[in-house]
Each structure stands twice: as structure tokens, then as C-alpha cells.
Amino acid sequence: MIKNNNFLEIPNINSKDANFKELIYEVDDSLFNAYNNSKKDFEHLCVCSGGTTSSCAKDGFTTLDLRKNYSNIHLDRESNLVKIGGGVIMGDLINYLQKHNRSFPIGLSKLPGAGYILTGGVSPLSRSYGLAIDNIESIKGFLGNGSFISLKNNQINPEKQLIWEAIKGAAAFFSIITEIELKTIQSNPIKVIEGFVNLNELSEIIKLSEEFPENISLQWIYAQKIYIYVFAELKNNLEDKRTEEYLMLLDKFPTLEKNFYKNFNNINFFPKELNLYKMNSNNHSEVISLLGEDLKNDIPIFINCLNEIMNNKPNNSCYVASQQLGCKTKKSNHGSSFFVHRKSTWKPWIYASWKKNDLQEKEVAMDWIYKSWSNLKRFYPNIHLAQLHNHLNSHKEELSLAFGGRMNELKTLKNIFDPQCILPPL
């Protein structure tokens, strides 16, 4: 992206390097007419919130950067509901909430913006509090046809019901969300058991984790080495006793250490040694996120498959990782949404990276991501559409594996509410 005085740094390097056509900061109904008259047929508006994906800015496309004018955060102390702008990043949200001893189930990084919430939002706390979308109380924004929308949970009239459900998981295809109201949670201390393990130990830990109660979750990452995080929220003395019993099962792994954190904000996931989330400015990357259920008896064959994938990785920047959901994310009492694979208990993701401008290395890395995805499909058949990939060949398949039986409803919404295809295409 070209830098100018009004420009805010974009964390994703692909997007940062894009030669965008125009940068806009304000969304109102006039934007839609003006943009529609100037856009070419194939073009769509790129929307940037946290700017952590490869689709928030593209060569020759206009970007609407919500970070400048939609970054307000306000907590109502009575209801403990927080209103955030559509351009708020998750780190700012939980830092703000911490001042009031509140928190929110953000993901493994503080960098992502509202895209984290609108695409589902899988947190180490999700097993206790549901996905980020399950905590949405109301939204305001614009549909692709320029009309303003304001929707509140439990006050949705029947003709708006489908829009409300689709905003929770598929908003990016037909709307621009400028304000989100969220439930917040009490900020509690966290115990984390973490360290490097070998493949056999990972296998044993996955087995143990599939029996974890809802306040404990496992996240692991296999880069050059394997690092695990067992994350336990400490809530009250009675539950903490049970938590300790589960955590004691990990005492037999000599490389793991226990850390105590006063709150979620103090945790930085994945050790500096792995050098993962510090975006390398010389590299471009893509990520595909999968969804599946407990591995149970398949753990040994999964571990073999993972080993083979990692033996074939094209360079040391590529990795596979996974986070655990389940328990509350399986419950349907949050209301229907477009995160349809509610049975899922694992969300692995495959990350491929290459030297930017090296098209040959890109081809090899993308080939690895697709082959790895294909090998992992037997364990994780579905997709978590956390990143929009309309610039990749896998886009159609990812859409159908993410939205399943609701794909036709999404197409209908797109036709009605974004008929000129101003927003990213399906």
C-alpha cells in the first residue's frame, strides 16, 4: 500500500504492499453511489478493520479503512455491554475492558479487528463463553445496496431475521458493520501450562484435552518445533480444584511449565523463539482454517499425517496449528448463525509463506497448503472462513465447506442486498 499522511499501517504484508486505487474512511449512503459509478465490473470494495488479512487491500481496488473513524469503545457499566466501532482491534478492546475488570473472548492475537468477531471468533475462552458472534447484542451498519441497518438481539422482526443470522459469520459479503455491541465477561486469572513437546507427547496431550472441562482449552503450533498452550480460566475455588486435577495430568511432561496470569491481557500466545506472528516484511502469506470434531481413536493416524505434512513443508515459515473449541460453542441457545459447523471441537489452520515477488516459491508454498488441506480433510472436513480468499482458486470450495446448507440463503441475501456486488464476491 502507498503510504501517505492519512495512512495507517496495515499488519498483513500482502495488503500492505498492494497498490490500492483509493483509500476512503467514511461510510454513509453517498459512498455507495459514488463508488458504484467509478468501479469496474470485476472490482469490489475492500474493507479494512484490523488489516490482518490478505484481502483488506488489493492492487487497483479501493479500500475502506474503518480504523480511523470507527474506533470508539464504550462500556455501559450497568449492562456491562460494550459498543465498539467497526474498526476496533481486539487488543484495544480488551485493554479498555481490563480497566473495568471486564474482558472479552478474543483470539490468540490482539492484532485482528472486527473481522475476528464477524467471521465467528474462536477464542481460548470459547469453550466457556461461546464464539465471538455468540456475544453480539446489536449491530449498526450498511448493506451493500446502501441502506442503513440497525439490529438488536431479541428485537428482530421476521424479515430481518436472515440478515441478523448471516451477519454472524458472513457479514463481509453483503454489509459493512460500523458498530457492534457485545456482552463482556468478568476478567478472571488464567493459568497456562506451556512449552515445547515432541510428536508423541502432542499425541498424548491431544488425547487428554478431548476430555477437558469447558474452562480448559488446548492450542498447539507445529512450526520448526511443536509448542503447546493449555489455557485454564480460574473462576472460583470449587471449580479451581477440579481444574487442578486436570492440569496435574500434564505434570508428567518434563518440558512444560506452569505460568499464572492476572488476566487474559497479559498473555502473549506463542513464544518469540517461533517468530511467527511478527509479520516478516519480506514475505507474503495465506492461511486456510479448517473445522472438525474430536479425533478420538484417530489421534495416531492424525499424528502420522501431521508428521508427513511437516516433513514436506517448503520452507521454515510454513506451519500448522490448532485451537480447541467445543462445549459452549456447540450450544444453539445463542440463536442461529452462519457459523454452521457447531459440532466442531478443533480449528486447525495451515499457514504458508514465501518470499514476496518469488512466484515460483509462492506456487510451491500454495501447492503445499492445498495438499496439506487435502490430507487433513478426513479429520477436519469443514472450513472456518476467517479469511476471504476470493483471489484464490480455492474460494468456491471454501465457501461451500464453510456455509454448507446455508450457502443458498447467503446467495439470496447477496442478490437482494448487494446487487451491484460492491462488497467481496461469493
- Of 128, 387, 402, 414, the one binding ligand FAD by CB under 6 A: 387
Q: Find the shortest distance in angstroms from Cβ 304 to ligand FAD.
A: 26
HSE-up (13 A, CA, CB side) for residue 284? 17
Selected binder of ligand FAD within 27, 125, 202, 388 (CB under 6 A): 388
Residue 120 engages ligand FAD in binding (rule: CB under 6 A): yes
Is residue 321 close enough to count as binding ligand FAD by CB under 6 A? no
CB 121 within 8 A of CB 84: no
Minimum Å gap between C-beta 78 and ligand FAD is: 26
Answer left, alpha or beta for residue 340, where phi above 0 means left and psi between -120 and 50 means alpha: alpha
Closest C-alpha to 186, from 76, 102, 259: 102
In the three-class reduction of DSSP (H, G, I as helix; E, B as strand; rest coil), residue 319 is classed as: strand
* By the rule CB under 6 A, 51 interacts with ligand FAD: yes
Considering only 119, 243, 324, 382, the residue that binds ligand FAD (CB under 6 A) is 119
Options 149, 176, 193, 413; binder of ligand FAD; rule CB under 6 A: 176
For the CB of residue 160, give the shortest distance to ligand FAD in the complex, in Å.
17
To ligand FAD, the closest distance from the beta carbon of 308 in angstroms equals 25
Each residue 253-292 as x (binds ligand FAD by CB under 6 A) or -, in order, gives: ------------------------x---------------
> Cα-atom radius of gyration of the chain, to the nearest Å?
21
Q: Total residues contacting ligand FAD (rule CB under 6 A)?
A: 36
Beta strands in 31-188 (DSSP E): 46-48, 62-65, 73-76, 81-85, 102-103, 136-143, 148-152, 175-183, 185-186
Mark the segment that binds ligand FAD (CB under 6 A) among 17-25, 190-198, 381-389, 400-408. 381-389
Told to check if 187 binds ligand FAD by CB under 6 A, we report no
Contact residue for ligand FAD among 121, 146, 195, 326 (CB under 6 A): 121
Contact 138, 151 (CB under 8 A): yes
Query: Of the candidates 1, 66, 94, 401, which one interacts with ligand FAD according to CB under 6 A?
Result: 66
111 part of the interface to ligand FAD, by CB under 6 A: yes
Least distance (Å) between residue 418 CB and ligand FAD: 11
Can you tell me which residue has the cell 513443508? 313
CA 48 to chain centre: 14
> Across the strands, what pairs with 322?
220, 348
Closest distance to ligand FAD from the beta carbon of 121 (Å)? 5
Which one of residues 61, 116, 339, 368 is an interface residue with ligand FAD (CB under 6 A)? 116
Of positions 1, 32, 61, 113, contacts ligand FAD by CB under 6 A? 113
Contacts of 129-133 with C-beta under 8 Å, sequence gap 24+, read 129/105, 129/185, 129/328, 130/105, 130/328, 130/329, 130/331, 130/334, 131/105, 131/325, 131/329, 131/334, 131/339, 132/104, 132/105, 132/106, 132/182, 133/168, 133/169, 133/334, 133/337, 133/339
Shortest spacing between CB 273 and ligand FAD, in angstroms = 16
**Nearest CA-CA partner of 103 in 112, 111, 113, 93:** 93
DSSP H stretches of helix in 212-296: 237-248
Residues that bind ligand FAD (CB under 6 A): 47-53, 55-56, 66, 86, 107-109, 111-116, 118-122, 171-172, 175-177, 277, 323, 386-388, 424
